Amino acid sequence: MKSIQMPKLLSTKEVADLLNVNEKMVYSLVNEKGLPATKVTGKWLFPLRLVEEWLDSHVINYKRSDIALSTDDGVLLIAGSDDLLFQRALSLYHSKRKDMVAFFANLGSMGGLTSLRRGLCHIGVCHLLQDEKNEYNFDFADQELDRAPIFVNFSQREQGILIRKGNPKGIRSVSDFARDDVRIVNRQLGTGTRLLLDYEISRSAISASDIAGYHDVVPRHLDAGLEVLSGRADAAPAIRAVAGLLDLDFISLRWERFDLLISRDRFLERGIQNFISLLHDQEFKNLAQSFSGYDLSLSGTMLYPDNLTNKE
């Protein structure tokens, strides 16, 4: 058997005391707000470190900085999720717009949403799977932001599991992650990829505590691929584009929507409109075709969720 170092675990009562809520509310936070938890022999347990990170990501009373710098001044600030095509799009943007400089902070989807809420970026980049499991980003924005942003699709992309070429460990699904001969590398808390993996684990007969490497995280999809390519990990959650780039095998989990979330007050600024226009450019479409696992059928399209609360 593998020796897995376990994090400090809290009971439901201990979490309730920590958050100063009743135990029933703790269950609601697990189901509705993504409070990190695992179920062992019928009892809920909560890794203390993950609970603390969850609290940090849900703080809403930061003093809002409201970026004074408009993108009309030549600077575009973007924060959120990692993506190979998005990085190439930024390079294309720079080559076409010599009057602009775009900065990207790889903070994960929740980090992008938090940065947008705090007024620290012009665009948040997110792919957060909602509770109904067939929609993305809308409910998270409704819960986290004071005012609904404008949603523009960047792309749709295929998410799944990276495995070594030829699949020497015979991995077929997330359930195989619990085997003694399998070790994974994960993405950090707050990323849409981590959220998807946790959802898949919740649908299986295993738990996160059964998985060697579950708490070993890397910041980018490409880093996850390199861990698998080197043999340091047998599998990793990531996008298909990385499998194509590194000649790895891939087990598909689902297609997801990868969106740009933009403040309504900023939407018509020159730098933002130029970036959106880029998504209709043939050069951008050619870039997407150089990767596997992307669908541009919604790219550059404004999205209007029917169920999003209008917070005007």
pLDDT at 32 over 80: no
Arithmetic mean of pLDDT over the chain: 88
- For 287-310, the pLDDT digits (tens) are 999 999 999 999 999 998 764 444
Residue 54 is predicted with a pLDDT of 76
Residue with the bigger pLDDT between 236 and 305: it is 236
Residue with the bigger pLDDT between 229 and 118: it is 229
- For 176-205, the pLDDT digits (tens) are 999 999 999 999 988 999 999 999 998 899
pLDDT at 312 over 50: no
What is the SS3 assignment for 84? helix
State how far the Cα of 181 lies from the Cα of 214, in Å rounded to an integer: 14
Asked if residue 52 belongs to a domain, the reply is: yes
Range of the domain at 47: 9-57
Nearest to 258 by CA among 83, 79, 57: 83
- Let me know whether 44 and 171 are in one domain: no
Tell me the mean pLDDT in the region 240-263. 97
CB 248 within 8 A of CB 240: no
- The mean-pLDDT minimum among 18-22, 115-119, 170-174, 288-292 falls in 18-22
pLDDT at 263 over 50: yes
Share of the chain above pLDDT 70, in %: 90
Asked if residue 98 belongs to a domain, the reply is: yes
Residue with the bigger pLDDT between 85 and 142: it is 85
**39 band by pLDDT with thresholds 50, 70 and 90:** confident
Q: What's the pTM value of the predicted model, to 2 decimals?
A: 0.78
Phi-psi region of 2 (alpha: psi -120 to 50; beta: other; left: phi over 0): beta
Residue 20 is predicted with a pLDDT of 83
Residue 106 is predicted with a pLDDT of 96
Q: Measure the CA angle with vertex 248, ends 244 and 250; round to 5°.
A: 85
Residue 167 is predicted with a pLDDT of 97
Asked if residue 1 belongs to a domain, the reply is: no
Asked if residue 295 belongs to a domain, the reply is: no
Asked if residue 300 belongs to a domain, the reply is: no
pLDDT at 161 over 50: yes
- Let me know whether 147 and 280 are in one domain: yes
pLDDT at 171 over 60: yes
What's the CATH code of the domain at 282? 3.40.190.10
**7 band by pLDDT with thresholds 50, 70 and 90:** low
User: Total structural domains in the chain?
Assistant: 3
Going by C-beta distance under 8 Å and a sequence separation of 6 or more, which residues neighbour residue 138? Answer: 130, 151, 305, 307, 308
What's the CATH code of the domain at 26? 1.10.10
Tell me the mean pLDDT in the region 1-30. 75
- Let me know whether 117 and 191 are in one domain: no
Tell me the mean pLDDT in the region 65-73. 70
- Let me know whether 137 and 265 are in one domain: yes
- Half-sphere exposure at residue 287, Cβ-oriented, CA atoms within 13 angstroms: 19
pLDDT at 1 over 60: no
Amino acid at 196: L
Structure tokens at 204: 């299986």
Tell me the mean pLDDT in the region 16-45. 79
**3 band by pLDDT with thresholds 50, 70 and 90:** very low
- Let me know whether 112 and 84 are in one domain: yes
- Let me know whether 148 and 265 are in one domain: yes
Residue 213 is predicted with a pLDDT of 97
Tell me the mean pLDDT in the region 259-272. 93
- Let me know whether 188 and 238 are in one domain: yes
- Let me know whether 163 and 285 are in one domain: no
- Let me know whether 268 and 145 are in one domain: yes
CB 250 within 8 A of CB 162: yes
